[in-house]
């Protein structure tokens, strides 16, 4: 799977952009705040319909415009596809695949698989449970339409149930409807728990070997899923906690409170790991994500590295760069030192400045300036 080209119109700081990518390694370099990450964000939206930053559609549209466009041309299993996205400030986005409009965003999921790696991901181990849930959800929603369907419904029900819990103060007669929401919550939530359990098991199988190599054979990393409630106890817990939820006005039980633990040689590195251990585990996690996509889809994902090399030491840099040889990779960075020092093969280089890109053909000459 490769992205052949990307076109943008009025997206973030780009009035117009037309860029053609190589099937190997592509570098986007330039100073900070020039628009490098915006290109990766547009690709991610093309793959998942959502921004990796959690931004709303109206936030990615150029300030003085009402709409923006993203066109991504890709090749998958020797077949070319064109994905068009029409983002509007006051309406839902329009999506077309090969000029055919699609009614549901879920129809796009799986066409383009990407793995996004940013400096923020290096802190996923030490961050709170919400960041680890977000990691699992971002990956599972790309790989499993059924999971995306269940998660969307679950989140909608949580919001509606929480609103009801607040309304009960003024309308206590609505309490009878709480059981209806609870039944739906248990139904969709149980499917999420089941899939997250399987996901953790799949990742754990892959990550052991990767982390062992990355740590020089000194560490064994195990990922464990920590559900807030088991499927068997879900319905009972919801009934038991109704009074508590009414008092607090929020839903206190369910997979929206799940977590994932990371154990290195039997030690929980979320709490007791060094920064080096946490970063190595985060890198192992991202590399495992790539292998998992390969295993499930039978195809390689596109790897998006957002200024992450500058946050890694030389050993981790080398391991990461050596691990991506057969994958189309788009990397943002502020300088080219890491690639020159490691004599890493670069297929195409673009300089990004104030929302404009320029391909660089003579690396040594440009770098010397």
Out of 23-27, 267-271, 314-318, which region has the weakest mean confidence (pLDDT)? 314-318
* Residue at which a domain ends, from 298, 319, 349: 298
Q: What Cα–Cα distance (Å) separates residue 205 from each residue in 142, 208, 221, 356?
A: 20, 6, 10, 43
CB-based contacts of 362, cutoff 8 Å, min separation 6: none
Q: What is residue 167's three-state secondary structure?
A: helix
pLDDT score of 261: 96
* 232 found inside a domain: yes
User: Residue 292 belongs to what domain range?
Assistant: 124-298
Residues 293 and 166 in one domain: yes
In which band, very low, low, confident or very high, does the pLDDT at 272 lie, cut at 50, 70 and 90? very high
pLDDT at residue 134 is higher than 50: yes
Write out the E strands in the chain: 2-11, 14-20, 25-29, 67-76, 79-88, 94-97, 100-101, 114-117, 221-226, 259-264, 267-268, 302-306, 329-333, 348-353, 356-360
Output the pLDDT for position 105.
Answer: 80
Lowest mean per-residue pLDDT among 15-29, 44-58, 163-177: 44-58
Residue keyed to tokens 């300088």: 335
> Residue 119: inside a domain, yes or no?
no
Residues 148 and 244 in one domain: yes
> What value does the mean pLDDT take over residues 357-361?
88
User: Which helix or strand (DSSP H or E) is residue 150 part of?
Assistant: helix 145-167
Q: What average pLDDT does this structure show over 42-67?
A: 89
At 369, is the pLDDT very low, low, confident or very high (cuts 50, 70, 90)? Answer: very low
Q: Which of 119, 54, 111, 63 is nearest to 83 (CA)?
A: 111
Same domain, 280 and 348: no
Which value, to the nearest 10 degrees, does the dihedral of the CA atoms of residues 143, 146, 150, 156 take? Answer: 80
| Closest to 345 measured CA to CA, from 27, 117, 37, 116 | 27
Distance CA 74, CA 96 (A): 14
Task: Give the pLDDT confidence score for residue 342 in this predicted structure.
Answer: 67
In a domain, 118, yes or no: no
Same domain membership, residue 224 and residue 76: no
Q: Which helix (H) or strand (E) holds 235?
A: helix 231-240
pTM of the model: 0.90
Question: Do 292 and 335 fall into the same domain?
Answer: no
What is the model's pLDDT at position 363?
A: 52
């995306």: which residue's tokens? 148
């Amino acid at each position: 799977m490769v992205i052949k080209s990307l076109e943008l119109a009025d997206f973030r700081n780009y009035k117009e952009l037309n860029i053609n990518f190589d099937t190997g390694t592509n570098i986007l370099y330039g100073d900070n705040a020039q628009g490098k990450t915006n290109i990766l964000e547009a690709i991610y939206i093309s793959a998942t319909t959502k921004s990796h930053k959690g931004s709303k559609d109206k936030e990615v549209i150029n300030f003085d415009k009402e709409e923006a466009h993203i066109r991504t041309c890709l090749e998958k299993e020797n077949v070319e596809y064109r994905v068009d996205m029409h983002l509007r400030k006051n309406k839902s986005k329009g999506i077309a695949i090969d000029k055919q409009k699609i009614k549901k965003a879920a129809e796009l999921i799986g066409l383009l698989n990407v793995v996004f790696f940013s400096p923020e991901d290096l802190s996923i181990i030490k961050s709170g449970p919400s960041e680890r849930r977000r990691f699992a959800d971002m990956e599972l929603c790309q790989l499993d339409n059924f999971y995306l369907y269940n998660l969307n419904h679950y989140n909608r029900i949580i919001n509606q149930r929480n609103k009801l819990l607040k309304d009960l103060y003024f309308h206590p007669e609505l309490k009878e409807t709480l059981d209806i929401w609870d039944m739906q919550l248990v139904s969709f939530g149980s499917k999420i728990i089941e899939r997250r359990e399987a996901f953790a098991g799949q990742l754990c199988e892959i990550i052991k070997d990767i982390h062992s190599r990355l740590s020089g054979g000194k560490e064994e990393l195990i990922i464990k899923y920590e559900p807030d409630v088991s499927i068997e106890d879900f319905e009972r817990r919801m009934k038991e906690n109704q009074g508590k939820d009414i008092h607090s006005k929020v839903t206190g039980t369910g997979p929206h409170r799940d977590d994932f633990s990371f154990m290195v040689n039997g030690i929980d590195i979320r709490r007791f790991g060094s920064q080096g251990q946490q970063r190595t585990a985060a890198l192992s996690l991202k590399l495992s994500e790539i292998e998992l996509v390969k295993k499930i889809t039978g195809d390689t994902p596109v790897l998006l590295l957002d200024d992450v090399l500058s946050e890694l030491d030389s050993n981790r840099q080398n391991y990461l760069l050596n691990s991506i040889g057969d994958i189309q990779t788009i990397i943002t960075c502020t300088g080219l030192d890491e690639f020159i020092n490691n004599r890493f093969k670069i297929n195409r280089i673009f300089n990004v400045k104030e929302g404009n890109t320029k391909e660089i053909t003579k690396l040594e000459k440009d770098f010397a300036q």
